[in-house]
Amino acid sequence: MIDTGGARAWLIRHGESESNAGLPTNGPGVSPLTPLGRAQAEQVAAAFTEPPSLIVSSTFVRARETAAPTRARFPEVPYEEWPVQEFTYLGELHGPRTTADERRPMAEAYWERADPTATYGGNGESFAALLTRAGAFLERLAARPEERLVAVFTHGLFIRALLWSFATGITTPDEAAMRSYHRFLQVCVTPNGSILELHPGPRVVAGATAHLTTPTPVRPPAMG
């Protein structure tokens, strides 16, 4: 069982990126927000009813840009970048100027193989490494002494890895576990700009989207 200790956190999926919108990108970390994504970032910032004690972001451009309005609203709050980036299992197979649709056959082949230790494209992350990274995030969160809110700007597959690990207790996956996670991706929806709250102890509060006055288009589940 995973315990978040004394910390309370908002896990915030970044706003719509150019990759989410089906546009070509030059790699997993550099896709910026669309105009809709920037509006969603502003709506996230307006959703806070108290200043967080810490603002955390992944190093990916879309997460940083989503965090920017919250940082501007609370300039006194410390800001840190943690390894809460998206699960980038295709590595260098995520080629320059490619779209999600163009990468989909490679993504489907990855999930069909269901090898939790496999790395693709030279620098892709394995599924086992993703779960290790998710566990390390929770340990880092639990080590924080205060119970005030920590705002974490992160990504859909990473959030769902945390949720799936909560639900199953699995931290060292085999093939069956990886297939279970893949099925979980089909039914667990984390829209762009959504907020999921973690409370102290092994409890998750359901995610919220009521703050998003700008609707997000319905698209196929993100696989990479």
76 close to 102: Cβ distance less than 8 angstroms? no
The span from the CA of 191 to the CA of 13, in Å, is 7
- Closest by CA to 133, choosing from 223, 201, 58, is 58
* Total-model pTM: 0.92
Exposure string of 99-118, with b = 16+ CB inside 10 Å and e = fewer, is: ebeebeebbeebbeebebee
The span from the CA of 158 to the CA of 11, in Å, is 10
**What 3-state class would DSSP assign to 182?**
helix
* Single-letter residue type at 215: P
Per CATH, the number for 8-208 is 3.40.50.1240
Cα of first residue to Cα of last residue in the chain, in angstroms, is 27
The span from the CA of 209 to the CA of 216, in Å, is 10
Q: Is 50 exposed, middle or buried (0-12, 13-18, 19+ CB in 10 A)?
A: exposed
pLDDT one digit per residue (tens) for the chain, 224 residues: 345 566 789 999 999 999 999 999 998 999 999 999 999 999 999 999 999 999 999 999 999 999 999 999 999 999 999 999 999 999 988 888 999 999 999 999 999 999 999 998 888 999 999 999 999 999 898 888 767 899 999 999 999 999 999 889 999 999 999 999 999 999 998 999 999 998 766 455 556 788 888 656 656 554 44
Length of the chain: 224
* DSSP bridge pairs for 98: 25
* Single-letter residue type at 26: N
